Structures are given as C-alpha cells and as structure tokens.
Amino acid sequence: MTLVSGEQDLAVFRRHWNGVRVLDLLTQSGGKLRIDWQVGVGKSYNIDQVIEHAIVEHCYDLVVALFPTRQLINERAWIKTPPKGIKGAFPYFRSMM
C-alpha cells in the first residue's frame, strides 16, 4: 500500500494514477476493477478523468457510470458543467438536481 501524506504526495499519486492509466487497467482486467483507495486520495477526481478519457478518446460507443447515491452523481464534473459538443443525458440529470 502506498502512503500518501501531504499535498506533494497527493499530486504525485494523482499524476501516476490518472484516468488513462485506470481505464487501461479496467480494459486489461476485462472490465472488472476494484479501487480501494483511502478517503481523500482522489477516487472522485479519478473517475471524472476516466469518464472524460473514455468519451473524448472514443474508447467505447457507450459510457455508463453508476454510483450508489444521487449526491455522488451530482458531484461529477460533467454533470456540474456538461461539455459542449458531447451528447449525453446531461440535461436530464441536471433537471433532477
């Protein structure tokens, strides 16, 4: 287990475990991947990067992200500020906020 202590360690950890790397691991594992990072190291930050990379780089025809609570959905970067030119269910979700 990697110890993340302080802002510099956190920045290094997030650079190393970016969305591209995690999406590659997900692909290599056949679509099954469990992330057990400690609170505060960037799971939410990372999932936003994974979603963005999967969509922007056209890795998949359909990208679906499931979350256990409405609050976690509302916190997603693309729900808060949908990107221009990307089609999706953003207007639907924003109307539910």
Q: What are the domain boundaries of the chain?
A: 7-95
Is pLDDT of 46 > 70? yes
Report the alpha-carbon angle 90-94-95, nearest 5. Answer: 120
Cα–Cα dist 93/33, whole Å: 26
Is pLDDT of 93 > 70? no
3 state SS of 6:
coil
39 vs 71, residue with greater confidence:
71
Is pLDDT of 32 > 70? yes
- The predicted model scores a pTM of 0.76
